[in-house]
């Protein structure tokens, strides 16, 4: 793990100043997940101590949250593939699929940071509807929530991985 968190490493090149916190959070999510899941066994990836969500769920969910909230920020509706991804977030994870799940997260974070570089800051307050019930939000609301909700799951992942590594069920 690095000595400093992403927000302490300076600005991310090309990202507008107002969106720097979103980029920092997303990059911290990527780094933190990588650190937390290193060397988890297949059983540990899928364990659900006290019936909480598994590490596998959290990593897939983080990827999906970023994808979905950035979709809403663009003013688009979710695709059939995105709905299918939601339904599979809680599936068991095989050891053979761990690298693909982590690669998907890393690619999604990279794509999100790249997308932040293209956001017209004049649109940050523009209305965006979210979800099937079309809840009201804004471009910046979607971007910030995608980052903060992801970090919330990093916290849950941190607790889950510590518990499963300790062998507590």
The answer to whether residue 2 is domain-embedded is no
Range of the domain at 155: 16-165
Confirm whether 7 is domain-assigned.
Answer: no
* Inside any domain, residue 1: no
pTM of the model: 0.95
CATH number at residue 136: 1.20.120.450
Query: pLDDT in tens for each of the 169 residues of the chain?
Result: 578 999 999 999 999 999 999 999 999 999 999 999 999 999 999 999 999 999 999 999 999 999 999 999 999 999 999 999 999 999 999 999 999 999 999 999 999 999 999 999 999 999 999 998 999 999 999 999 999 999 999 999 999 999 999 987 6
Within a domain: 33:
yes
Task: Look at residue 82 in the predicted model and tell me its pLDDT.
Answer: 97
Residues 27, 75 contacting (CB under 8 angstroms): no
Does residue 151 lie within any of the structural domains? yes
């Amino acid at each position: 793990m690095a000595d400093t968190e992403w927000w302490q490493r300076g600005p991310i090149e090309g990202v507008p100043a107002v969106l720097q916190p979103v980029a920092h959070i997303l990059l911290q999510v990527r780094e933190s997940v990588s650190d937390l899941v290193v060397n988890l066994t297949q059983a540990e990836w899928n364990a659900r101590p006290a019936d909480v969500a598994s590490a596998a769920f959290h990593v897939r969910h983080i990827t999906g949250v970023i994808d979905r909230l950035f979709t809403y920020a663009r003013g688009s509706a979710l695709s059939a593939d995105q709905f299918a991804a939601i339904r599979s977030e809680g599936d068991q994870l095989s050891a053979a699929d761990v690298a693909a799940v982590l690669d998907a997260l890393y690619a999604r974070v990279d794509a999100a940071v790249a997308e932040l570089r293209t956001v017209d800051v004049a649109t940050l307050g523009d209305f965006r509807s979210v979800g099937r019930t079309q809840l009201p939000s804004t471009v910046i609301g979607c971007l910030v929530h995608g980052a903060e909700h992801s970090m919330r799951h990093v916290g849950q992942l941190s607790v889950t991985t510590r518990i499963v590594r300790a062998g507590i069920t």
